[in-house]
Chain A
Amino acid sequence: MQNMPAPVHEHTTSTSHATLGAIERLAALTTATAVVAYGLSRRNVPGVFLAAAATPLAYRALSGEWPRVGNGHSANQRTREALSGDRGLHVRESVRLEKPVDEVYRFWRTLENLPKFMNYLDDVSDSGNGRSQWIAKGPAGTRVKWEAEIINDIPNKLIAWRSLGDADVISAGSVNFDTVRNGRSTQVSVHFQYAPPGGRAGALVAKVFGREPSQTVREDLRRLKQLLEAGEFPHAKWDTLK
């Protein structure tokens, strides 16, 4: 994972703002209230932490914005600060496939393919010049959008990206493609680093709702493997009596 996006360059691009519409704010408020109530009702230390963790969401519901860490920084500084050092969440997962490395690289580099195996993504569109628009499925049916750019791209070896501007999701990541087992298999190693909505608190909320980041990425890579190796996702359709 030495190939993380090293220097973060200056950017002047401004993108969509992280403010919310009325329905989304209501959803955020409802969720925050429910989490706080649940946390407090547990009457124990983890419960209190859980309740506290929902505070940024409540702030977002009332103000329409995430609480600012620091003030008046430009967007690219936010990215850098949110992700610098050991801050933010790091997820490292890898998977091996019985497919040639160029095929796997090409599949991933065609960014429109990503929602095929990343369940939480709704849509990714490549707008050229290394820029891309990402739409993810947020909590309670909301949509979270951000723009990203590829900052390193070595065919059949590495793709690295980071989010741009004032994005809801501040993230950076890299995926390495390595030929292993004496040339027989390809290993895909993902390093995903992000400050999700509400930072660590948001991740905690996400975890409570079953979206533990490492497991999410592991399932994504499993689906990538299923799609490329088996050509389809295993699915036990079960519509009999329930």
Chain B
Amino acid sequence: MKAVCYYGKEDVRVETVPDPTIVNPRDAIVKVTATAICGSDLHIYDGFIPTMKRGDILGHEFMGEVVEVGPGNKRLKVGDRVVVPFTIACGNCFYCKEQLWSLCDNSNPNAWMLEQITGFSGSALFGYSHMYGGYPGGQAEYARVPFSDVGPLKVPQSLGDEQVLFLSDILPTGYMAADNCSIRPGDTVAVWGCGPVGQFAIQSAFLLGAERVIAIDRFPERLTLAARHSRAEVLNYMEVDIAETLRAMTGGQGPDACIDAVGLEAHGTTLDAWYDLAKTSMFMATDRTHALRQAIACCRKGGTVSIPGVYGGLLDKFPLGAAFAKGLTLKMGQTHMHKYMPGLLDRIERGEIDPSFIITHRVTLNDAPNMYQVFRDKKDDCIKVVMKPDGRA
């Protein structure tokens, strides 16, 4: 089959690789009909993610048709159309039973690697390095899905691929970011970062009862999308002082909740390597760290700072004093996909949300090497790239 493979920093190639096969009883094989490049894939592309190996298949946002089912899977059958969550969860451990699916104990065969860094390992992820399990990703014609009796969500034929594809990651991620804000009617929510997750966080905040959502970014096309599609009030931080403006907009009180949909990447396999990475990336990461600091500084007393943006390392000059003084609640973590997917599918079916509005580029798998670059450089007003492995872009 054809697959998008990692070959090194800024080196992504489309290669012909062996088709996946059923390995474990609970597996299924999915013929991929649509897959997307995620912002977090760009961190791999930029060489920030350790334990990637040459030839690793990329991609964790994908959906398709079930073509083979393992003997231990009583839930799926050949021909089912499914969206696959990017986190892999067993469904039976303490964390899965507590609905904390992204913290699954049993899905990461390389848990010891993450344990060296974070003390404990969360769930494995598709196509996202060997410390997250080393599972082949979904930017391919076929993908093996482990624990497929609890992960993949069946979707009705009445909905197109583009309407449901983002149930695989970014829609639930944006939604959980808003859900973590414990929004009450009348609340004001500020969102840093208007990429795909930020866009969905804005929509979700409104769905969950926010009165106002203020969106912050520096790319005009992203701010325009947030304003036009989701009726957010928008601020370009290149043009205005964010702290001052937010204070003015909220009667001096500050937003009730702040969402950091920007994040910062600093990873490593050992603590010292990790620390080095954090230090060496500081120059590049100043802006990104700034978002979280600013969110903490701007949030109203007793408010919530919700962090869907990915953080990996040791943060320098983290304003814990401000967070403490204001009695803030901080919530974060990988998305508990399995918890949110069914409810969000219902919302899509009811027409409350149509996630396809963020798509700017529709291409085939063969275009992946170029599209990684276009997306990374935000050329051509690129916000979201969807690839169709069958070539009918």
Interface residues of A (CB under 8 A from B): 96, 98, 185, 215, 219, 222, 225-226, 229-242
Q: Within the assembled complex, what's the spacing in Å between the Cα atoms of A239 and B23?
A: 12
* A236 with B93: CB separation less than 8 A: no
* A236 with B134: CB separation less than 8 A: yes
Which chain A residue shows the least CB distance to B3?
A240
* A229 with B93: CB separation less than 8 A: yes
Contact of A242 among B26, B53, B111 (CB under 8 A): B53
Per-residue CB proximity of B1-16 to A under 8 Å, as 1/0?
0010100000000010
* A231 with B57: CB separation less than 8 A: no
- Expressed in whole angstroms, the minimum distance between the Cβ of B65 and any Cβ of chain A is 21
B309-344: which residues lie under 8 A (CB-CB) from chain A? none
Which chain B residue shows the least CB distance to A181?
B94
Contact of B94 among A185, A230, A232, A242 (CB under 8 A): A185
Q: Within the assembled complex, what's the spacing in Å between the Cα atoms of A185 and B94?
A: 8
Q: Which 10 A-B pairs have the closest CB atoms?
A: A241-B55, A230-B90, A236-B134, A230-B106, A240-B17, A236-B135, A232-B24, A234-B109, A229-B92, A237-B23
Known A-B contacts A98-B94, A238-B136; A226 and B106 likewise in contact (beta carbons under 8 Å): yes
Question: Size class of B's contact patch?
Answer: 35 or more
* A234 with B105: CB separation less than 8 A: no
13 chain-A/chain-B pairs, Cβ below 8 angstroms: A225-B106, A231-B72, A232-B72, A233-B109, A234-B109, A236-B135, A237-B20, A237-B21, A237-B23, A240-B17, A240-B55, A240-B57, A241-B54
Does B124 make an interface contact (CB < 8 A)? yes
Give every chain A residue within 8 A of B72 (Cβ-Cβ): 231-232
Give every chain B residue within 8 A of A239 (Cβ-Cβ): 18
Which chain B residue shows the least CB distance to A215?
B112
Give every chain B residue within 8 A of A219 (Cβ-Cβ): 112
Interface residues of B (CB under 8 A from A): 3, 5, 15, 17-18, 20-21, 23-26, 53-57, 72, 88, 90-94, 97, 105-112, 124, 130, 133-136, 144, 146-147
Q: Within the assembled complex, what's the spacing in Å between the Cα atoms of A216 and B54?
A: 29
Supplied contacts A98-B92, A225-B93, A230-B93, 10 more A-B pairs, CB within 8 Å: A219-B112, A225-B105, A234-B88, A234-B133, A234-B146, A236-B135, A238-B56, A240-B18, A241-B17, A242-B53
* A231 with B53: CB separation less than 8 A: no
Q: Within the assembled complex, what's the spacing in Å between the Cα atoms of A96 and B3?
A: 39
Q: Within the assembled complex, what's the spacing in Å between the Cα atoms of A222 and B121?
A: 12
Q: Within the assembled complex, what's the spacing in Å between the Cα atoms of A187 and B388?
A: 47
Give every chain A residue within 8 A of B23 (Cβ-Cβ): 235, 237
Which chain A residue shows the least CB distance to B132?
A236
Give every chain B residue within 8 A of A232 (Cβ-Cβ): 24-26, 72
Q: Within the assembled complex, what's the spacing in Å between the Cα atoms of A241 and B23?
A: 18
Main secondary structure on chain A at its contact with chain B?
A: loop
| Interface core residue of B5, B18, B106, B108 (most chain A CB under 10 Å) | B106
* B136 with A236: CB separation less than 8 A: yes
| Interface core residue of B24, B53, B108 (most chain A CB under 10 Å) | B24
* A230 with B147: CB separation less than 8 A: yes
Which chain B residue shows the least CB distance to A228?
B92
Give every chain A residue within 8 A of B110 (Cβ-Cβ): 236
Which chain A residue shows the least CB distance to B57?
A240
Which chain B residue shows the least CB distance to A229?
B92
* B109 with A96: CB separation less than 8 A: no
Give every chain B residue within 8 A of A241 (Cβ-Cβ): 5, 15, 17, 54-55
* A229 with B144: CB separation less than 8 A: no
Give every chain A residue within 8 A of B146 (Cβ-Cβ): 234-235
Q: Within the assembled complex, what's the spacing in Å between the Cα atoms of A238 and B93?
A: 25
Q: Within the assembled complex, what's the spacing in Å between the Cα atoms of A84 and B130?
A: 42
Give every chain A residue within 8 A of B133 (Cβ-Cβ): 234, 236
* B105 with A229: CB separation less than 8 A: yes
* A236 with B54: CB separation less than 8 A: no
Q: Within the assembled complex, what's the spacing in Å between the Cα atoms of A242 and B136?
A: 13
Q: Within the assembled complex, what's the spacing in Å between the Cα atoms of A240 and B25?
A: 21
Known A-B contacts A240-B18, A241-B17, A242-B55; A231 and B93 likewise in contact (beta carbons under 8 Å): no
Q: Within the assembled complex, what's the spacing in Å between the Cα atoms of A225 and B111?
A: 13
Q: Within the assembled complex, what's the spacing in Å between the Cα atoms of A238 and B55?
A: 10
Which chain A residue shows the least CB distance to B1?
A240
Give every chain B residue within 8 A of A236 (Cβ-Cβ): 109-110, 124, 130, 133-136
* B135 with A230: CB separation less than 8 A: no
Known A-B contacts A226-B106, A239-B18, A241-B54; A233 and B24 likewise in contact (beta carbons under 8 Å): yes
Contact of B124 among A225, A234, A242 (CB under 8 A): A234
* A238 with B92: CB separation less than 8 A: no
Q: Within the assembled complex, what's the spacing in Å between the Cα atoms of A235 and B136?
A: 11
* A237 with B144: CB separation less than 8 A: yes
Give every chain A residue within 8 A of B112 (Cβ-Cβ): 215, 219
Q: Within the assembled complex, what's the spacing in Å between the Cα atoms of A215 and B112?
A: 9
Q: Within the assembled complex, what's the spacing in Å between the Cα atoms of A237 and B143?
A: 12
Q: Within the assembled complex, what's the spacing in Å between the Cα atoms of A235 and B24?
A: 8
